[in-house]
Structure 1
Amino acid sequence: MGTIRMVQQARRVCVIGGSRYFGELLVRRLLAAGHHVTVINRGSTVPPAGAEHLVVDRDDEAALLAVLGSRSFDVVVDQVCYTPVQAAIAARVFEGRTRRYVMTSTIEVYDPASAALPDVPDSVLVREETVDPATWRVDGGLPWHDAAYVEAHYAEGKRQAEAVFTQQAGFDVAVVRSAHVLGGGAREFTGRLAHYVERVRQGEAIAVHADALPTVFVHYEELAALLAWAATEAAFTGAVNACSDGTLDVRELGSVVASQVGREPVYRTVASGEAASPFSFDRHYAMSNARAKQLGFVFTDVRDWLPGAVKEV
């Protein structure tokens, strides 16, 4: 998905993370397009051939400064920023080293269960201004160094990280808020699509809400293409939502899985507020991709690629 175009002028791109799934694919796309890519991670995974590899813990500011040395970049793509503390370190370290910074964020910033957000009618797709990082409050005193706390407050960590970059960084900042990412078979490390495939195949009940609301998805190749576009072709700042065209609720998703597996899904209804299967939502925060389209990115339709993603599982 997305066309790799060779560029007239190669960019120096730093990717923080980028060692698996759509991050690895992003690195491969950037290299194939002729850019010079430096990957920063903690060393557990070697980046694709052709990329420079810097091994360091991004949370260690002194070590990050040391390993970067005198390097500078045209753009930094941050795949693994989860807290305002990490964002503050990056804002300090990369000031004067880059002109542009792209942070990968998430649809979860719009989850009304995780923050007091403006009401959005169920029939309206959520736009970027619903969460404005320019005005979002940052609280660095929260236990952001506690891994369990960060995991439990994933959405708020992302919101505050966006806010730190937007409010404090000395470079242009773009934020890509990704929809639920699917595709890639075994590469899809969350296992959420496999959850449905296995339950339909085995005839096991899928827990859903009685009035499950629709959400949005993006194929991992499409997300990698959008991130490459945001890093090397586009010049926008602020947030953009990254999702394929079309919405699906959990039963519609189950129908697509059933069409590939050859068995009808079995559902078990749970009460509002109770735990359900992935992608069954009793609250609305499906995103609009209108801004990214206006800026020039072309999306596929979720119904065009989802059957193939199911087959890969």
Structure 2
Amino acid sequence: MKKGTQTDALTDEASKNLTAIAIAAVPGSTVDIKGAKSRDPPTGDSPTSEGIMVKCSQLILNSGNKRIPIVLGNDDYTRRLHKHIESVQQGLPLGIPNPEAWMCFILSDEVASFLAWLRQSDLEGQVNACSQGDLSTGQILSLITEAAGKQANILSETEQKSPFGPAVSRYMDTTKAVQAGYTFQPLTDWMPKLIREIVA
């Protein structure tokens, strides 16, 4: 049994539309999945990624719900990971109360795939989704410093606390989805690659 806090936290046609929900997802929210329908957002002929996210957040769903942790990706308009990388590159302080605390994450593309799979499944009720494994805030910063070639300026207390810096570890139990046949990507398969892409 993992020691930590189990969190209820929350970036082809399915992939394009549902990736937006993945990035727009807000930790703590719960969204139903099946029978999704959407309204067009007020965007132009070439909608921005934020406009697409708005469209996907307006999905009207009937049964089954998903809970997703922090969603990351190159198209994350919140730029959470980007801001951490920029802070390291610029030598800015990062408020990390407990570098040893670990968290769950998921890649935006995987949320799209997961939601498309979930719509076709017979699962009902709460279904958690997150990448296999976990990384501590300190491990994430180590990946950033290695890619950026600079050391992180970590402070236990600052006005700007990192969203990747929980005081205690948090995890999500994906047993229900895994037993139903879904295989989540290992976190260590995509996080280092994503960091390198953003640094470049």
Paired residue for 1:286? 171
Paired residue for 2:194? 309
Matches within 5 A, 1:1-313: 18=17, 21=20, 39-44=38-43, 79-80=57-58, 101=61, 173-183=63-73, 185=74, 187-210=75-98, 213-232=101-120, 234-270=121-157, 276-313=161-198
Identical residues among aligned pairs (%): 25
| Contact 1:23 1:79 (C-alpha < 8 Å) held by counterparts | no
The AA in structure 1 aligned to 2:155 is R
Distance 1:20 1:246, change over 3 A: closer
The AA in structure 2 aligned to 1:253 is I
Distance 1:293 1:45, change over 3 A: farther
Quote the Cα distance in structure 2 between the aligned partners of 1:79 and 1:239.
18
Distance 1:211 1:305, change over 3 A: closer
Quote the Cα distance in structure 2 between the aligned partners of 1:261 and 1:211.
19
Query: Displacement of 1:286 after TM fit?
Result: 1.8
Q: Deviations over 1:227-268 (max 9, x none)?
A: 110113x11111111100111221111111122112221211
Q: Which has the larger radius of gyration?
A: 1
Q: TM-score scaled to structure 2, two decimals?
A: 0.71
Query: Displacement of 1:226 after TM fit?
Result: 0.1
| Contact 1:244 1:300 (C-alpha < 8 Å) held by counterparts | yes
Query: Displacement of 1:43 after TM fit?
Result: 2.3
The AA in structure 2 aligned to 1:178 is I
Higher strand share: 1
Q: Deviations over 1:87-136 (max 9, x none)?
A: xxx5xxxxxxxxxx4xxxxxxxxxxxxxxxxxxxxxxxxxxxxxxxxxxx
| Contact 1:244 1:302 (C-alpha < 8 Å) held by counterparts | yes
Runs of 5+ unmatched residues, structure 1 = 5-12, 25-36, 49-56, 59-77, 82-89, 91-100, 102-170
Q: Deviations over 1:152-192 (max 9, x none)?
A: xxxxxxxxxxxxxxxxxxx5x11111111111x2x111110
Distance 1:179 1:278, change over 3 A: same
Query: Displacement of 1:20 after TM fit?
Result: 6.8
Query: Displacement of 1:207 after TM fit?
Result: 1.1
| Contact 1:19 1:46 (C-alpha < 8 Å) held by counterparts | no
Quote the Cα distance in structure 1 between the aligned partners of 2:160 and 2:77.
21
SS at match of 1:209: coil
Q: Number of matched residues?
A: 167
Supply the RMSD in Å over aligned alpha carbons. 3.2
SS at match of 1:253: helix
Q: TM-score scaled to structure 1, two decimals?
A: 0.47
The AA in structure 2 aligned to 1:300 is Q
